[in-house]
Amino acid sequence: MTVSEISPMVRSTRSLLQSGWTERSIVAAVRRGDLHGVRRGWYIEAADAALLWPESRHLAHVIAVVRDSSGDAATSHESAGVAWGLPLYRHRPNRVHVTTQVSRRISSGPDVMRHVAPLPASDLVIRHGIRATSLARTVFDLARTLPPEAAVACADAAERMVALRGREWDEDAVGAWRRGMRERIAAASGARGVKQARWVTEFANGNAQLPGESVSRLQLARLGFRSPRLQVAVPGPTGKTYFVDFGLDEVEAFGEFDGRGKYTDEALTRGVPLAEILLEEKQREDWIRGSTQWRLARWGGEHISRTSALAARLASFSIHPPG
């Protein structure tokens, strides 16, 4: 969800009192679980909180902190990441990150992590009313500091955001983005985490459409698959084209990451009954196997939590890493 969608959900004590709540009713609602505390003095109703993914919950926390704040600090790191709509893949920050270039000593609080670092004007934007680090600066900070899985998911999503123009892929935009990231990393030689940032940005590929696909790529690389193709086109019947998440050319196999949303999210299913979706998937898979004579393996989020889990899943389809 976006800042504009979440902002009305985040309400201060003052706002609640003005709309008819009392201090006693607020306390009682928190105890019952009808109100969730976002931070001291800020709340979100349980019905609204139930709609939020973890990234959106953190964004609600960011909104509350920004409303309480003054000064020129910029939302940064994973907190800027959620403002940009980047996935954090199982990374659950419990503090809002802000960066300032003020040289005087500053301290962090129980729910705010403050960083001191240079902040040139080119690295600052107003994102939906939130003063935040630019997309490139945000990805650079996240690539240095997040676990590799979340860092790759963020880098892939950012490249996709830069390159995708409607349904068209802008190769020039991708090239400019990658050059800019390389220059930024080269200028930060010796900084904390810069070695990981260099690897992550070189590994990034915006053709990965979901965080689960990004992490699948990482685990496949760890298993020794050198260059899986992404979104591989396979000619289908009557002029159709099927797209498969991964082409494992070295072992003549395809791979598909199946997130639960593919079968349960109404925005993706478009109201089509589950039985019909499953039948179409089976027909599609049978065609791909039959027309290419390649094996096809499916896996889910539980299979990419560890490299060994994905290896075991692939082995159950008689697919093994290249020797």
Whether 108 shows a pLDDT value over 80: the answer reads no
Report whether 99 contacts 133 (CB < 8 A).
Answer: yes
- Helix (H) or strand (E) holding 161, with range, is helix 148-163
State percent of the chain over pLDDT 90. Answer: 83
Residues with Cβ < 8 Å from 2, sequence gap 6 or more?
Answer: 85, 128
Q: Which amino acid is at 81?
A: G
Report strand pairing: 295-299 vs 253-257: parallel
Per the structure block, which two tokens stand in for 160?
Answer: 């996709």
User: CB count, 10 Å around CB of 174?
Assistant: 19
Q: Where in the chain is the domain with CATH 3.40.960.10?
A: 211-315
pLDDT tens digits along 220-241:
999 999 889 999 999 999 889 9
The candidate with the shortest Cα–Cα distance to 6, out of 41, 40, 69, 57, is 57
pTM metric for this prediction: 0.90
Please tell me the number of Cα atoms within 13 Å of 313 on its side-chain side. 23
List the beta bridge partners of residue 100: 116
Fold adopted by 211-315: Endonuclease; Chain A (3.40.960)
Report whether 219 contacts 307 (CB < 8 A).
Answer: yes
- pLDDT at position 278 is 82
